[in-house]
């Protein structure tokens, strides 16, 4: 199969303060190596959708298949392992540890996964920073980096376990136009040249329009 992600009849309710049908009969697929932004107004359900697809929220009906594996119904420890091995995350706020260097921040997910030795992890982390032109800042505290630099370190961190999918929630929300363009070019290179699937939620229509295709959400549904 060529699909990295298959979503089948996904429904999600919020129960508090009253029942609200936030995602309604969502079905779509994303191919391996495809760069797909999800757009929509605030409250349209796009971030909720990404949270479900990331396997962090399992309270839904329907079925989610990632890399030919049905993740719906798996136990939390299985999902945690699956996320570490298959999915890299990039957020609007980089969530770097300020007391750690750029290199140390990038190494953290790989140290947690424990697949390789610390020396191998450091070498791989440096390679990810080098690929994003951030290797010269490897030993600098993340708190001393600019916003654009911090987001590139966050992308390197998302890549350190060599995931097949990157999920990003408003990754350019705090960046100026220059750094937004840099992040877009990074994502396009990762998808088109490295074969990594990119699924990103964004409000930035200029960012979205250069991608392979766009999924638009309106009131909890996919707009056709």
Q: Over pLDDT 90: what percentage of the chain?
A: 67
Entry pTM: 0.88
Task: Provide the pLDDT for residue 204.
Answer: 86
Query: What are the structural domain ranges in the chain?
Result: 3-222
Pairing of strands 215-218, 35-39: parallel
Q: Over pLDDT 70: what percentage of the chain?
A: 99
Task: Provide the pLDDT for residue 15.
Answer: 81
> How far is the C-alpha of 41 from the C-alpha of 38, rounded, in Å?
10
> How far is the C-alpha of 93 from the C-alpha of 9, rounded, in Å?
30
What is the overall mean pLDDT for the chain? 91
202 and 208 in contact (C-beta within 8 Å)? yes
Task: Provide the pLDDT for residue 52.
Answer: 94
Range in 121-130, 169-178, 208-217 with the lowest mean pLDDT: 169-178
Question: Which of 1-5, 190-194, 203-207 has the highest mean predicted lDDT (pLDDT)?
Answer: 190-194
Task: Provide the pLDDT for residue 179.
Answer: 84
Task: Provide the pLDDT for residue 182.
Answer: 86
pLDDT, tens digit, 9 for 90 and up, residues 84-104: 889 999 887 778 999 999 999
Taking 80 as the threshold, does the pLDDT of residue 224 lie above it? Answer: no
Taking 70 as the threshold, does the pLDDT of residue 1 lie above it? Answer: no
> Considering the domain 3-222, what is its CATH architecture?
3-Layer(aba) Sandwich (3.40)
How is 49-74 classified by DSSP, letter by letter? Answer: HHHHHTTS----EEEEEETTEE-TT-
pLDDT, tens digit, 9 for 90 and up, residues 110-148: 998 888 899 999 999 999 999 888 999 999 999 999 988
Phi, psi of 181 (to 5 degrees): -65, -35
- For 213, the token pair is 């295709």
Q: How confident is the model at residue 183 (pLDDT cuts 50, 70, 90)?
A: confident
Q: How confident is the model at residue 205 (pLDDT cuts 50, 70, 90)?
A: confident
């Amino acid at each position: 199969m060529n699909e990295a992600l298959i979503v089948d009849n996904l429904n999600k309710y919020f129960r508090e303060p009253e029942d609200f049908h936030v995602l309604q009969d969502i079905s779509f697929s994303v191919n391996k190596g495809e760069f797909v932004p999800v757009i929509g107004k605030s409250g349209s359900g796009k971030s909720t959708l990404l949270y479900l697809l990331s396997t962090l929220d399992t309270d839904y009906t329907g079925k989610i298949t990632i890399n030919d594996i049905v993740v719906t119904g798996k136990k939390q420890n299985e999902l945690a392992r699956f996320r570490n091995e298959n999915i890299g995350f990039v957020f609007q706020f980089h969530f770097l540890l300020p007391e750690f260097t750029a290199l140390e921040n990038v190494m953290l997910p790989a140290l947690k996964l424990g697949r390789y030795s610390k020396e191998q992890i450091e070498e791989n982390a440096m390679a990810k920073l080098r690929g994003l032109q951030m290797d010269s800042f490897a030993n600098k505290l993340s708190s001393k980096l600019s916003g654009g630099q911090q987001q590139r370190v966050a992308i390197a961190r998302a890549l350190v376990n060599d995931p097949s999918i990157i999920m990003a929630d408003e990754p350019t929300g705090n960046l100026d136009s220059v750094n937004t363009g840099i992040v877009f070019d990074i994502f396009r290179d990762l998808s088109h040249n490295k074969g990594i699937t990119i699924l990103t939620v964004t409000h930035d229509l200029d960012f979205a329009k250069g991608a392979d295709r766009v999924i638009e959400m309106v009131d909890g549904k996919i707009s056709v």
